[in-house]
Amino acid sequence: MTKHGVVLGPEDAVVAAAAAARHFSFPPPRKGGESCRKLAAQVDLGAAVMGSWLDSMKASSPRHRLMAPLAGAADAEHDDWMERHPSALDRFDALAAAAKGKQVAVFLDYDGTLSPIVEDPDRAVMTDEMREAVRGVAARFPTAIVSGRCCDKPDPAAMLGGDGDVRDEGDDDDADVFGFVRLAELYYAGSHGMDIRGPTADPNHHGKEAKSVLCQPASEFLPVIEEVYGALVEQVEASIPGAKVENNKFCLSVHFRCVEEAAWGELFEQVRSVLKDYPGLRLTQGRKVLEVRPMIKWDKGKALEFLLDSLGYAERSDVFPIYIGDDRTDEDAFKVLRSRGQGAGILVSKFPKETSASFSLREPAEVRDFLRRLVDANT
Ligand SMILES: O=P(O)(O)OC[C@H]1O[C@H](O[C@H]2O[C@H](CO)[C@@H](O)[C@H](O)[C@H]2O)[C@H](O)[C@@H](O)[C@@H]1O
């Protein structure tokens, strides 16, 4: 097995493997999905109706326990969904067969994918086992973290240790994604893809020269984001107990995970009132978080395309990108894979959700197991 190359076989191995798997085609079919939870991906603030936002905010908190009479229906919905989005672990052999002969590249969301969702965003650490799995994958394939969090602090190279790790856990600045992952050999696309950095360790790792900033399409918005951050801290964080505003450099997160549900409407109104003076910004929604972003045509899907281009894979048909994510914002990347007809999108979710991903994994522990299998299959 060569570094970053998959040892590959004939294309028909894909067909054979897929045919052998019961109920399985590659990628799995998309049908119906009427009963799935609807994901309103982005809402234009100008057209925002308070009621629909509140509904959407509540929908971002799936009910974990169902009343007994509803449990049967939920099981049927879940089974149907799993047929359309089978477990990437159960279908690993078919996936590996589909990737055979192709250049694999791996794209990983952070929160809810590499780390479990926790109440305090500053404490969303990933385990050492997960870090080792990601390190193993990155030693074999170009690997990127694609996150809503800010990328890193200004000069990560200055903080590098001998093994390419950066910083110790517990440092004050760990809330950025680089501080959590601490692997300098990866690509990072922070701020929902608006801050793309190349590896800062092992310059020859992907046959590319190490670079720091590769793409920052929203840099002109920095002053306005700073200004709005100040206003949101002053108005929302100060007046609504539990609200937390996070500065992700090119975008902002207004967290309501720790806010009483009765105050969600007020929180939304306050955010909207701050944003009404900034027509260049838009509001989207993630997992118990409102995201303030520049009104530009850029998202995680664009970041994925940019990274594939940067890696020299734009025109190649023998590329197999694997994208793993749990959030609404990851849907833009899943859609890119669908439209390219390449690779595999894997949604991390225990619950049926409308998604453009082809496969599913239930939780970060399964993501770790999947990454380990990827490493083992290419060792
Ligand atoms: O694209 P991602 O890497 O998934 O980042 C999306 C947002 O993730 C973080 O918030 C989420 O995780 C927190 C920690 O588990 C949780 O408390 C919060 O409710 C979630 O929304 C991060 O704090 C945000 O800045 C990211 O935009």
Q: Which domains does the chain have, with CATH numbers?
A: 14-60+72-379 (3.40.50.1000)
Residue 45's pLDDT is what?
52
Report which ligand 1 atom has the smallest distance to the Cα of 110: 3
- Among 44, 90, 109, 168, the active-site one is 109
28 closest CA partner among 337, 265, 235, 288? 337
Name the more confident of 165 and 304.
304
Residue 27's pLDDT is what?
54
The answer on pLDDT for 165 being more than 90 is no
Q: Which residues line ligand 1 (CB under 6 A)?
A: 109-112, 117-119, 121, 124, 147-149, 246, 248, 253, 255, 257, 286-289, 291, 327, 329
The answer to whether 351 and 83 are in contact (CB under 8 A) is no
Centre of ligand 1 to C-alpha 109, Å, is 10
Centre of ligand 1 to C-alpha 273, Å, is 23
Best of 57, 107, 111 for a ligand 1 pocket test (most atoms within 8 Å of beta carbon):
111
Residue 49's pLDDT is what?
61
DSSP-derived 3-state class of residue 43 = strand
Q: What is the pLDDT of residues 198-257, one digit of tens each?
A: 998 754 444 444 447 889 999 999 999 999 999 999 999 999 999 999 999 999 999 999
pTM: 0.83
Q: What is the mean pLDDT of the chain?
A: 82
Residue 75's pLDDT is what?
86
Name the more confident of 40 and 281.
281
Q: What is the pLDDT of residues 313-327, one digit of tens each?
A: 998 999 999 999 999
Q: Say what the ipTM of the complex is.
A: 0.99
DSSP-derived 3-state class of residue 269 = helix
The answer to whether 317 and 343 are in contact (CB under 8 A) is no
113 closest CA partner among 377, 378, 357, 379? 357
Q: Which residues pair with 291 in a beta bridge?
A: 253, 284
Residue 367's pLDDT is what?
98
| 109 is known as an active-site residue | yes
pLDDT confidence band for 181 (50 / 70 / 90): very high
Centre of ligand 1 to C-alpha 363, Å, is 15
